[in-house]
A = this chain, B = another copy of it.
Amino acid sequence: MSTNPLLKGTLHTIILKLLEGNNRMYGYEITQKVKEASEGGIMLTEGALYPALHKLQAEGLLKATVEIVDGRARKYYQLTGHGGKEATDKINEAQAFIDQLQNILNIKPAVK
Q: A42 touching B101 by the CB < 8 A rule?
A: yes
Contact flags A76-112 to B (C-beta < 8 A → 1, else 0): 0000000000000001011111101111110111101
**Which one of B9, B23, B34, B107 lies within 8 Å of A37 (CB-CB)?**
B107
Are A38 and B95 in contact, with the CB atoms below 8 A?
A: no
Q: List chain A positions with a Cβ less than 8 A from chain B.
A: 4-10, 13-14, 17-18, 20-23, 34, 37-39, 41-42, 91, 93-98, 100-105, 107-110, 112
Q: How long is the Cα–Cα vector from A41 to B98 in the complex, in angstroms?
A: 10
Taking a contact as CB atoms under 8 Å apart, the answer to whether B93 and A6 are in contact is yes
Contacts of A95 in B (CB 8 A): 105
Known contacts A5-B8, A9-B5, A110-B23; A97/B17 CB under 8 A: no
Q: When chains A and B are docked, how far (Å) is the Cα of A104 from the Cα of B108?
A: 27
Shortest distance from the beta carbon of A23 to any chain B beta carbon, whole Å: 7
Q: Is the CB of A110 within 8 A of B22?
A: yes
In the complex, what distance in Å separates the CA atom of A22 from the CA atom of B110? 6
A59 to chain B, nearest CB (A): 14
Contacts A38-B103, A38-B104; is A10 near B6 (CB within 8 Å)?
yes
